[in-house]
Structure 1
Amino acid sequence: MNSKVEQSKAAGSAGDLVKYVLAVLLVAAGVFAFYWFGQWPAALRGLAVIGGLIAGGVVFMTSAKGAQTREFLAESRFELRKVVWPTRQEAGRATLMIIIAVTVISLILAGFDVVIQAGVKWLLGR
């Protein structure tokens, strides 16, 4: 997160509102084209949806919320660089230990189930 204090702004300018509406309309146009042009090949209809999403995303990113989104993504990427990722061998060992632990716990729960089931049958006289 950003450590600087930001002043809260109003809900947004009229220009930003127009950009939001245009972005939504572009995405909706892509989805509309997908269904309206049903005779087109599926790949071309899929490209219409992708084109609408990209165009809507580009328009959104030029707004105030888009700037905040870009800043958030840049800061997230910066934080990801600090992460120490496990080696392939460490990840394999951890995965094996998790599989063993889940198996043991499931067997213990199955044992509890058998004991409780036998106890209920004994109490009910079956």
Structure 2
Amino acid sequence: MSNPNVETVTSASDRVKVGLALACVVAGIAGYYALPTSPTIARVGVIFLGLALAIAIAMFSEPGRRFISFGRDAYSETRKVVWPTRKETVTTTAAVFAFAVIMALFLWITDKSIEWVLYDLILGWK
């Protein structure tokens, strides 16, 4: 069952706007490679100009507005996250490192024990 609040059909004008936005991005990248003798700042500026035009065009389409709304919602959700303190991060990292070292020792001891049983006791190889 579909959500009636979400419009899944995009109009022809929205498709054209998104296509133009993609064309601007491609043109910016093509411009970067078309100017090999220009200063790097100019070449990078062409890419940013293409991206800025693409964003400006996409903002006027329904998919672009939905994407911007999604970005705002995602940003507000990240502000709600309770990030760990430095002490919590260091403590957790130390615990993970200690577990990895203990596990490595356990696996090494297990490997050497199986090797000893197989090669020395059962097969008699020395």
Normalising by structure 2, we get a TM-score of 0.80
What's the counterpart of residue 48 of structure 2?
50
Match of 2:105 in 1: 111
- Taking the TM superposition and a 5 Å limit, the aligned residue runs for 1:36-115 are 36-81=34-79, 83=80, 85-86=82-83, 91-115=85-109
Q: Aligned-pair distance for 1:5?
A: 5.0
Structure-1-length-normalised TM-score: 0.80
Q: How many residues align?
A: 118
What is residue 19 of structure 1 aligned with on the other side?
Answer: 17
d(CA) in 1 for partners of 2:6 and 2:90? Answer: 50
Question: 1:7 deviation in Å?
Answer: 5.0
Q: Unmatched 5+ residue regions in structure 2?
A: 121-125
Question: What SS is found at the alignment partner of 1:62?
Answer: coil
> 1:58: how far off?
1.1
CA distance in 2 between counterparts of 1:80 and 1:118 reads: 48
- Runs of 4+ aligned residues of structure 1 deviating over 6 Å after TM superposition are none
Kindly report the root-mean-square deviation, in angstroms, between the aligned alpha carbons of the 2 structures. 2.1
Q: Distance in 1 between matches of 2:98 and 2:8?
A: 55
Any idea what SS the aligned residue of 1:93 has? helix
Residues 45 and 111 from structure 1, CA distance in 2 versus in 1: closer, same or farther, beyond 3 angstroms? same
Q: Partner letter of residue 25 of structure 2?
A: V
Instruction: Indicate the larger mover: 101-110 or 21-30.
Output: 101-110
Partner Cα separation in structure 2 for residue 92 and residue 78 of structure 1: 23
